[in-house]
Each structure stands twice: as C-alpha cells, then as structure tokens.
Amino acid sequence: MKEKQYLIDAIAETDSWRLLRILAEFVDGFETLSDIHPCVSIFGSARIKPEEENYKKALIIARKLSENGFNILTGGGPGIMEAANKGAREGGSTSIGLNIRLPLEQKNNSYSDVTLEFKYFFVRKVMFIKYAQAYIAMPGGLGTLDEIFEAMTLIQTKRIKPFPLILVGSDYWGGLKEWIQSVLLKQHFISPEDMDLVTIVDDPDEIVRMIKSTIIV
C-alpha cells in the first residue's frame, strides 16, 4: 500500500514539474513574440533542398511579403523553413524560427533573427496561431498537414477569427482538395462553406495581394 502511494506521489510530482515547464514555454513565447506584428507563418517540408523549385518559391514568397512589411514565422528548421527565414532576412523584416526538440534533433537554420526552442508541440502550435495573421503551406508532410488542418478546425468552430489559409502549388494540393470535396463534403462530414477555408495559389504575387487585402500592415 505504501509502495503504491509512493508511486502515485512520484507521478504527481513529475506531472507538477512538467506543468511548470509547459508554463515556462508559454511565458517565454508570449514575452518574446508579443511585439511581432504583422506576421505570416510559412510551413513546408524540412526535407526540401535549396536547389529544388519549392525552396526557391518559398524564398521568393517570404521576401516579397517581407518587402511589404510582413514579418515571417517558421518552424526554424531546414528546407522550406530555412528558405522562408532567408527570404525574410533578404526582404528586411524580422525572421522568426520556432524550433522543436525532436529525438532526431532538428537544427536551427542560420537565417532566424529571433529563435525560440520548444519541447512541447502544442505550445509551439499556440504561438503559430496566436501571432500569425496568415498561414502559407508549401508542399510538406504530416507536420504541414497538422498545422493547416488545426487552423481550419479552429476557424470552422469559431475558436479563432478567420485569416487567410493559402496552399501553394495546385499540382501538390489539388488532389487533397478534390478528396475533401468528393468524400468529406459528399458524405456531409463538412459543410459547403468549409471548402472556402483554404485557397490554392501558385503565383507568389497573387499570394502577397491576397494577404495584403485582408491584413493592415
């Protein structure tokens, strides 16, 4: 009986310290990012190389947004994140990287002016949602899908105010949108207006125009 109580106390103590660490990450993020405005979050694969077309397009999009007064927020790692941070620096705005500690360590790219490191994914995701006035998703994997679908869900359920959710690349994202329409919408798992939560765009200049039309710099 005593051994059982000791185990319960040990778990409770561990959870209490974990709660403090979580709180510390929230405080650090809020204090660091409170003056970052306006800001656009750019997501995409960490596996994309600098010589690839999507890396170059992410850099161009970030630079054009930066030149129009938008700070750029990314996950702080390589690939699309690096391209976007680099574009922000070239454009003269603040380049922010929110890195995540992973078992296979993700290294910070060298183009972030402001860097934060998180242990907890959900704390990091709050920072993206709270401080971004628009989301841009380049081609990416599960992490990119996670960020976009969470934002869609929060807007759909009116937990946050609507903001532009832009998927870059009709050849990459077109099939996903067709599946959502032909399966989810057809089976009435979503409403017709939910199809308008995201927009697929290919042209960097059109992306800038869309965001500028909805956000005051």
69-102 pLDDT, tens digit per residue, is 999 999 999 999 999 999 999 999 999 999 998 8
Q: In what order do the strands lie in the sheet with 114-118?
A: 114-118, 95-100, 71-74, 39-43, 134-137, 165-168, 199-201
* 79/110 Cα distance (integer angstroms): 12
- Residue 9, in any domain of the structure: no
- Asked if 132 and 163 count as a contact pair (C-beta separation under 8 A), the reply is yes
Tokens standing for residue 43: 């997501």
Is the model more confident about 43 or about 2?
43
Q: In which band, very low, low, confident or very high, does the pLDDT at 15 lie, cut at 50, 70 and 90?
A: confident
- Residue 14, in any domain of the structure: no
- Residue 23, in any domain of the structure: no
137-196 pLDDT, tens digit per residue, is 999 999 999 999 999 999 999 999 999 999 999 999 999 999 999 999 999 999 999 999
Q: Which residue has the tokens 């995540």?
A: 100
pLDDT of residue 57: 98
User: What CATH number does residue 102 fall under?
Assistant: 3.40.50.450
20-36 pLDDT, tens digit per residue, is 999 999 999 999 999 99
- Residue 1, in any domain of the structure: no
- Residue 152, in any domain of the structure: yes
Average pLDDT, the chain: 92
- Residue 183, in any domain of the structure: yes
Q: Is the N-terminal amide bond of 162 cis, ω within 30° of 0? A: no
pLDDT higher than 70, residue 11: no
* 127/125 Cα distance (integer angstroms): 5
Domain range for 118 is: 36-214
207-217 pLDDT, tens digit per residue, is 999 999 987 66
Q: In which band, very low, low, confident or very high, does the pLDDT at 105 lie, cut at 50, 70 and 90?
A: low
User: Kind and range of the H or E element at 148?
Assistant: helix 142-156
- Asked if 197 and 185 count as a contact pair (C-beta separation under 8 A), the reply is no
- Residue 12, in any domain of the structure: no
Burial class (CB in 10 A: 0-12, 13-18, 19+), 207: buried
According to DSSP, the β-strands at 114-118 and 95-100 are parallel
131: nearest Cα among 209, 44, 26, 53: 26
pLDDT higher than 60, residue 103: yes
pLDDT higher than 70, residue 10: no
Q: How far apart are the first and last CA of the chain?
A: 63
Output the CA torsion 57→81→92→127 (10° steps).
Answer: 130
Structurally, the chain folds into a number of domains equal to: 1
